[in-house]
Amino acid sequence: MACAALLALVLAVGIHTFADRSTAANLTKTSAATTAEASASPSASPNASTPASAPAARVVDAALGARIQAILDANSQYQIGVAVVDLSQGAGSADVSEYGVREKFVAASTAKVLAAAAYYHLVETGAATLDDPLGSYTAGFQLREMIQQSDNDSWSLIMDAVGHEELTAYAATLGVSYDPKTNTLTPAEMATIVSRLYSGTLLNAGNTAQLLSYMQDTNYETLIPAAVPAGITVFHKYGLLGGELHDAAILTQGNAAYALVIYTKGQDLSDVPERTEVIHQLTQAVAGVLF
């Protein structure tokens, strides 16, 4: 299977890991990252409507839809959008099952995956290299910091190197409507991005493996990764900005692979613990049905 081969390649190239951080250090870094993201990221409010009562398009599993909807109903004080894609059948299986809010959210740092893919695309077309100087370091270094450490200075440098209009045009080739000025995406659009990355239809094998490796052992592993059962591998990118708390992930085990994107909007940072618990519940529901 393509996904299994790609996962093997990820393991072959090696996963860059960081030393374990204490809870206090993680909270301190998260607070600093949030402050930096708030200053670097554009702000806007998603045009979020009342959560839908049933998923659109193909439902991965009827029992899954019922479980997700029950969690959404129990947490109606938040705006929550969930998107699931079954990647087990290969790149051609790209139907997105949507639950809850389907309109655009402020994507926060989840959009860094799109920016990274756009830069790697420049590398593959010969318009840039990973050794190009960006700031005080190379483009390759900035890509890793942007994804694994969610560094906003790196994000700004990468987006400038790609070009904001060019980034919008690149997103359009994926069927995604994205404007860096508003930094908004729907959960389904984000699911499309990570699905195409994992399935190998976005970048070549080497760049796919490298980018996926950066989406592990990140500086914020308390959302989807914290809730999956043992034995499931997670590649993900979180987003945390004011009222936005998101995670966009690929879950894999054996030949099974699914994209899971959970976007949430609350009042502010004060309800992050409660929304983290909701993300855990949704993740456990998805993993419990699909694996």
Predicted local distance difference test score (pLDDT) of residue 33? 40
Domains contained in the chain, number: 1
Q: Is residue 260 a contact partner of residue 233, using CB atoms and an 8 Å limit?
A: no
Predicted local distance difference test score (pLDDT) of residue 94? 59
> Domain residues for 234?
2-13+45-290
SS (H, E, C) 39-86: HHCCCCCCCCCCCCCCCECCCCCHHHHHHHHHHHHHCCCCEEEEEEEE
Q: Is residue 275 part of a domain?
A: yes
For residue range 90-112, list pLDDT tens digits in order: 544 458 999 999 999 999 999 99
Q: Is residue 143 part of a domain?
A: yes
Predicted local distance difference test score (pLDDT) of residue 90? 58
Q: Is residue 18 part of a domain?
A: no
How far is CA 69 from each of CA 53, 72, 76, 177, 217, rounded to the nearest angstrom?
7, 5, 10, 26, 30
Mean pLDDT across the chain = 84
- In the DSSP assignment, the letter for residue 262 is E
The stretches of the chain forming alpha helices (DSSP H) are 2-13, 23-40, 62-74, 112-124, 139-148, 152-162, 164-173, 187-199, 205-214, 224-227, 272-290
Q: Which residues pair with 80 in a beta bridge?
A: 264
What's the rounded mean pLDDT across residues 243-272? 96
- The pLDDT confidence band at residue 89, using thresholds 50, 70 and 90, is low
Distance CA 90, CA 120 (A): 22
- SS3 of residue 161 by DSSP: helix
Predicted local distance difference test score (pLDDT) of residue 52? 38
Q: Is residue 282 part of a domain?
A: yes
- The pLDDT confidence band at residue 61, using thresholds 50, 70 and 90, is confident
Asked if the model's pLDDT at residue 7 lies above 70, the reply is no
Higher pLDDT, 43 or 132: 132
The CATH number that applies at residue 55 is 3.40.710.10
- The percentage of residues in the chain with a pLDDT greater than 90, rounded to a whole number, is 75
Q: Is residue 37 part of a domain?
A: no
Alpha-carbon dihedral sign for residues 220, 221, 225, 226: negative
For residue range 136-194, list pLDDT tens digits in order: 999 999 999 999 999 999 999 999 999 999 999 999 999 999 999 999 999 999 999 99
Distance CA 144, CA 264 (A): 25
Predicted local distance difference test score (pLDDT) of residue 23? 33
Asked if the model's pLDDT at residue 29 lies above 70, the reply is no
Q: Is residue 220 part of a domain?
A: yes
Q: Is residue 196 part of a domain?
A: yes
Distance CA 46, CA 52 (A): 15
- SS3 of residue 212 by DSSP: helix
Predicted local distance difference test score (pLDDT) of residue 26? 38
For residue range 211-229, list pLDDT tens digits in order: 999 999 999 999 999 999 9
Q: Is residue 260 part of a domain?
A: yes
Q: Is residue 98 a contact partner of residue 85, using CB atoms and an 8 Å limit?
A: no
Distance CA 17, CA 251 (A): 19
Predicted local distance difference test score (pLDDT) of residue 257? 95
Asked if the model's pLDDT at residue 74 lies above 70, the reply is yes
What's the rounded mean pLDDT across residues 268-288? 97
Predicted local distance difference test score (pLDDT) of residue 88? 80
Instruction: Name 101's Cβ contacts closer than 8 Å, sequence gap at least 6.
Output: 46, 48, 49, 51, 52, 79, 80, 81, 187, 263
pTM: 0.81
